[in-house]
Structure 1
Amino acid sequence: MSPLLRGARGLDHLARATGGLLGWFTLAMVLLQSAVVLLRYGLNGGSVALQDSVVYLHGAVFMLGLAYALYTGAHVRVDVFYRRMSPRRRAWVDAVGTLVFLLPLCAFIAIGSWHFAAASWAVRETSSSAGGLPGVFLLKSLIPLAAATLALQGLAELARALARLMEVEGATLTPRAPAATPSAAEEIGV
């Protein structure tokens, strides 16, 4: 297996593990939202901390799910032309799209959100609601983290596309095996 594919598989493992964790986050989010509804409409009560926890989990699922969506192919793609392309052309589209669009976008998000998250960490920002959860700075830190995980998964996609391109080109550029030379016995007609 090529080093490119080994690296891609390692990054895919990270995306799969994140996706599994986010599945549990989604279950917790559904259960907590059900508890909020039960408290509000069934018991005439409520909890701002529970509502904040649903928002925090939703943010975590959305931001950290970006890389998992790319890994599973659940991201937005204009499939009108892509699905009809040959594997080689798909690899070109994936490689160029990753280099021209995805990685620069990830860099833009990471650079743009770094100050936003750092300012929140500097004051240890908490919820503006009375009784809300502390740790808004952790939630804001998910933005540059999401950009980083998405960029890593983008690198895995790029590695896979490059391996596909090298495999196709390698097959055409590899010298052919020399024609079988007749043995000495065949040469003399035995």
Structure 2
Amino acid sequence: MKILLKLSGWIDALNTLVGRAVTWLVLIVAIISAGNAVMRKVFSLSSNAWLELQWYLFGAIFLLAAGYTFLRNEHVRVDVLSQKLPERTQIFIEIFGLLFFLFPAACLVLWLSIPFFWESYITHELSSNTEGLIRWPAKLLIPVGFALLVLAGVSHLIKCIGFLRGACANPMRVSSGKSDEEALVEDILAQRQAGQSIESKPGR
């Protein structure tokens, strides 16, 4: 179990590294999108290459961050009933979902996407749009993204089994703390209170 948990830690580290790197793509996409809009509206210029690059990066954000999102338990869950059950029962339900839903679906897409990418790569497929980009980098995102998702599922399965054996904490509590939105609101309120306290000091 210790070896498996160490493997889980390596997988989590990989998905965390990829996930944090992908967050910068959001900024890059925003800059490209704003630049395209300015060039089109102000200078009446447009480029299919830049538009397609924007689409490629959107795809990279959603596909490459899927494993990281799963690691943080941020995927949408319909757990209105299961959250009222005992923790061990929840973990058994989680394992069932991994084995019979996540793994079959993700592995199928991964298996089918490899020849989909490879054919595009060996034929040097280009976009049908004028000045469009090559297509294989975008298609490569599919197997890579689903491979990361499968790895995240393997890591989660190891931690679920580890919890049942008393070897680790409940993996479904990874994101049980404050959400990013709640943390942001608290920071804003704290800054506002700090500003008000400074203004209320004598001599200000």
TM range (shorter): 0.7 to 0.9
Q: In structure 2, how many angstroms separate the alpha carbons of the residues matched to 1:79 and 1:94?
A: 10
Q: CA deviation at 1:17?
A: 0.8
* CA deviation vs aligned residue, 1:127-166 (integer Å, no higher than 9, x gap): 21111222x1111111111221110000000001000111
Q: Which residue of 2 aligns with 1:140?
A: 139
* CA deviation vs aligned residue, 1:107-139 (integer Å, no higher than 9, x gap): 1101222221121112111221111222x1111
Q: CA deviation at 1:3?
A: 2.4
* CA-based RMSD: 1.5
Q: Which residue of 1 aligns with 2:177?
A: none
Pairing of 1:100-179 with structure 2 (within 5 A):
100-134=100-134, 136-167=135-166
Aligned to 2:142, the other structure's residue is in SS state: helix
Report the residue type matching 1:157 in the other structure: H
Q: CA deviation at 1:76?
A: 2.2
Determine if contact 1:94/1:157 at 8 Å carries over to the other structure. Answer: no
Q: Percent identity?
A: 29
Q: Which residue of 2 aligns with 1:84?
A: 84
Q: CA deviation at 1:2?
A: 2.4
Q: In structure 2, how many angstroms separate the alpha carbons of the residues matched to 1:54 and 1:109?
A: 24
Where does structure 1 differ by over 2 angstroms across 4 or more consecutive aligned residues? 1-5
Unaligned runs of 5+ in 2: 168-204
Report the residue type matching 1:151 in the other structure: V
Q: Which residue of 1 aligns with 2:199?
A: none
Report the residue type matching 2:58 in the other structure: H
Q: Which residue of 1 aligns with 2:181?
A: none
Computing the radius of gyration from Cα coordinates, the structure with the larger value is: 1
Matched, 1:32 2:28: no
Q: Which residue of 1 aligns with 2:97?
A: 97
**Number of aligned pairs?**
167
**TM-score (norm. length: structure 1):** 0.83
